[in-house]
Amino acid sequence: MDFTIPENTRRMTRVIRDFMQNEVYPLEREFLNASFRDMLPVLEQKRRNAKAMGLWAPHIPEEYGGQGLGLLEFAHVSEELGRSPIGHYLCNCQAPDVGNMEILMKYGTDEQKGSYLLPLIQGEIRSCFAMTEPGYPGSNPTWMGATAVKDGDDYVINGQKWFITGADGAAFAIVLATTNPEAESRYLRASMIIVPTDTAGFRRVRNTSVMGEVGSDYASHAEILFDDCRVPQSNRLGPEGAGFVIAQERLGPGRIHHCMRWIGICERAFDLMCEWAATRHTAPDRTLGSRQIAQVWIAESRAEIDAARLMVLQTAWKIDREGASAARDEISLIKFYVAGVLQRVLDRAIQAHGGMGMTDDLPLAYWYRFERAARIYDGPDEVHKLVVARRILRRYGG
Ligand SMILES: Cc1cc2nc3c(=O)[nH]c(=O)nc-3n(C[C@H](O)[C@H](O)[C@H](O)COP(=O)(O)OP(=O)(O)OC[C@H]3O[C@@H](n4cnc5c(N)ncnc54)[C@H](O)[C@@H]3O)c2cc1C
């Protein structure tokens, strides 16, 4: 394995560090204490700056207007951007748009690319990805209630989705719905369909409150109702019945993006914890850092973050060389392991800060609220653990 960081990625991470230091961190306290929608004008200005600095859409090939980074290179960039809650958004590589761009690039027709992909890459519009449903287990997306039935040249979609990140203000949703209920394989029954959010029959019911916050715009998780929502069949993304397969493909690199963003969060939390421990006095002659308990928090966090990064880089390296299906074990392992490291490091950093750690003067409490979901979305811990364990046991004849 060769994890040498290419020179262009090094250059970009240096520029990102300056951008974060000079333009992003100074904005954080205001961001943490305002609604996302209220912050949009200032965020838009920062996005223009990121574009001018050559940081825009780093994961997208240059011919589409991005910076052309491969998965392993983007992993390093994603870590740098993850050090602030707004880093990815400012460079237009935030979930769920990042995954939607990837599948539109791979499966979109020329017309779909012109109408949806290019404006998405330019940051003129946002999108959302609608798979999870209230009445069915999101952990098993081969079983769902939403249907898309052919009628003339159209699909008529009915069903309910929830936790749809960024649906508030999105221009379109990529929706997973059953189109082929008769298919023998449960993996071949659903299709992905692009639904503009102004289509009749598409209704955003509410932004669901998550960890005490209803959220707005990109920072929303919405419930959506499809009531005889009619779109042309030409809005289907990829082959009929391939929705689940495409969703899995989307989630492979998506988990690398998430994990490296989480490692960026860990590094920032680690810096904050160490700076605080080194300077905060617990007695006139003693700093917090002089207490063994704080030293244990620091040593354990350092070891866990370093281990997590190596696991993720190895997975990205394997996906780049052999494709996501060859790295299924690694993808499951990093998904639950790094999500766990994230929770533990954030918890220690908050504990070290005492009352200060609970405030929104620092990003720790924000991350503690919003990144609890890391152990649930894109497959809960339990599902990844049992999937990987089953595959391992098969090798032992189990
Ligand atoms: C903040 C946030 C953002 C999200 N964004 C999106 C989005 O943009 N688009 C979207 O479509 N969805 C989104 N989701 C939904 C997310 O993907 C689902 O919540 C997740 O897949 C789990 O599905 P579920 O909530 O239906 O839980 P369930 O599937 O009902 O599972 C509940 C719990 O049961 C356990 N469990 C489930 N299956 C098994 C099993 N086989 N063995 C052992 N234990 C099991 C797990 O502990 C799991 O946490 C988001 C969720 C959150 C919290």
User: Of all atoms in ligand 1, which is nearest to the CA of residue 210?
Assistant: 1
DSSP code at position 237: E
**Ligand 1 within 6 A of 151 CB?**
no
pLDDT score recorded for residue 196: 98
pLDDT tens for 311-350 read: 999 998 898 889 888 999 999 999 999 999 999 999 999 9
**Ligand 1 within 6 A of 222 CB?**
no
User: Of all atoms in ligand 1, which is nearest to the CA of residue 221?
Assistant: 3
For residues 274 and 141, what is the distance between their CA atoms, to the nearest angstrom?
Answer: 42
pLDDT score recorded for residue 67: 94
DSSP per-residue string spanning 161-192 = EEEEET-TT-SEEEEEEES-TT-SSGGGSEEE
Ramachandran region, residue 379 (left: φ > 0; alpha: ψ -120 to 50; beta: rest) = left
**Ligand 1 within 6 A of 164 CB?**
yes
DSSP code at position 34: S
**Ligand 1 within 6 A of 377 CB?**
yes
- Does residue 149 contact residue 155 with C-beta atoms inside 8 Å? yes
The rounded mean pLDDT for the chain is: 96
- Does residue 93 contact residue 100 with C-beta atoms inside 8 Å? no
**Residue partners of 18: CB distance under 8 A and separation at least 6:** none
**Ligand 1 within 6 A of 163 CB?**
yes
- Distance from Cα 375 to the centre of ligand 1, integer Å: 9
Cis peptide before 96 (omega within 30 of 0): yes
The H or E element that residue 147 is part of is strand 147-151
pLDDT tens for 165-195 read: 999 999 999 999 999 999 999 999 999 999 9
Whose structure tokens read 């305002």?
34
Q: Which residues pair with 151 in a beta bridge?
A: 154
Q: Which of 95, 93, 36 is nearest to 67 (CA)?
A: 93
User: Of all atoms in ligand 1, which is nearest to the CA of residue 375?
Assistant: 49
**Ligand 1 within 6 A of 380 CB?**
yes
The residue whose CA is least distant from atom 23 of ligand 1 is 138
SS3 sequence of 289-344? HHCHHHHHHHHHHHHHHHHHHHHHHHHHHHHHHHCHHHHHHHHHHHHHHHHHHHHH
- Distance from Cα 294 to the centre of ligand 1, integer Å: 34
**Ligand 1 within 6 A of 96 CB?**
yes
pLDDT < 50: residue spans in the chain? none
Cα distances from 71 to residues 60, 63, 88, 314, in angstroms, run 10, 17, 15, 11
Any alpha helices (H) in 207-291, and if so which ranges? 243-279
- Does residue 269 contact residue 345 with C-beta atoms inside 8 Å? yes
The residue whose CA is least distant from atom 53 of ligand 1 is 373
pLDDT score recorded for residue 248: 86
- Does residue 312 contact residue 75 with C-beta atoms inside 8 Å? yes
Residue 58 backbone phi and psi in degrees, to 5 = -60, -25
pLDDT score recorded for residue 61: 96
- Distance from Cα 74 to the centre of ligand 1, integer Å: 26
Burial of 87 (0-12, 13-18, 19+ CB in 10 A): buried
Sign of CA dihedral 109, 113, 117, 121: positive
- Distance from Cα 132 to the centre of ligand 1, integer Å: 8
pLDDT score recorded for residue 398: 85
Write b or e for each residue in 217-250: b if 16 or more Cβ atoms lie within 10 A of its Cβ, otherwise e.
bbbbbbbbebeebbbebebbbbebbbbbebbbbb
For residues 396 and 174, what is the distance between their CA atoms, to the nearest angstrom?
Answer: 40
**Ligand 1 within 6 A of 243 CB?**
no
